[in-house]
């Protein structure tokens, strides 16, 4: 993990929209660092998708986030959707630990 990185944001978003996107990045970080409740993660993802409805933009932002943090939005959400409940702890090798 790289320390001191910046979150990918679009400065055309409102303050509330930026808060939603930053919350998403925080939840992904938690999934890798300490673990996160799947329900909380998926709820945050739903709010994120209201700000970033485009799959292309989501992929772009997710790649930017992964490049600077080594944490994958895509893999985290994929595992969370498969798991549906409980605690999610992503491994440093990008594999899920249940």
Does residue 85 lie in a domain region? yes
Does residue 57 lie in a domain region? yes
**CATH code, domain carrying 57:** 1.10.220.80
Q: Residue 25 and residue 50: Cα distance in Å, rounded? A: 15
Does residue 76 lie in a domain region? yes
Average pLDDT over residues 20-40: 96
- Would you say residue 2 has pLDDT above 50? no
Q: What angle do CA 83, 16, 87 make, to 5 degrees?
A: 20
The pair of structure tokens assigned to 49 is 């998708």
Does residue 91 lie in a domain region? yes
Query: Which range marks the domain in which residue 38 is found?
Result: 15-97
CB 49 within 8 A of CB 58: yes
CB 38 within 8 A of CB 86: yes
- The burial class, CB within 10 Å (0-12 / 13-18 / 19+), for 35 is middle
The pLDDT tens digits of the residues spanning 34-92 come to 999 999 999 999 999 999 999 999 999 999 999 989 999 999 999 999 999 999 999 85
Number of domains in the chain: 1
Does residue 4 lie in a domain region? no
């Amino acid at each position: 993990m790289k320390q001191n990185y910046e979150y990918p944001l679009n400065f055309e978003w409102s303050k509330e929209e930026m808060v939603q996107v930053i919350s998403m990045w925080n939840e992904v970080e938690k999934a890798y660092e300490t673990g996160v409740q799947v329900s909380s993660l998926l709820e945050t993802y739903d709010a994120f998708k209201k700000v970033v409805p485009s799959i292309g933009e989501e992929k772009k932002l997710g790649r930017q986030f992964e490049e600077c943090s080594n944490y994958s939005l895509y893999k985290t959400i994929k595992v969370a959707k498969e798991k549906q409940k409980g605690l999610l702890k992503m491994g440093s090798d990008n594999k899920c630990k249940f």
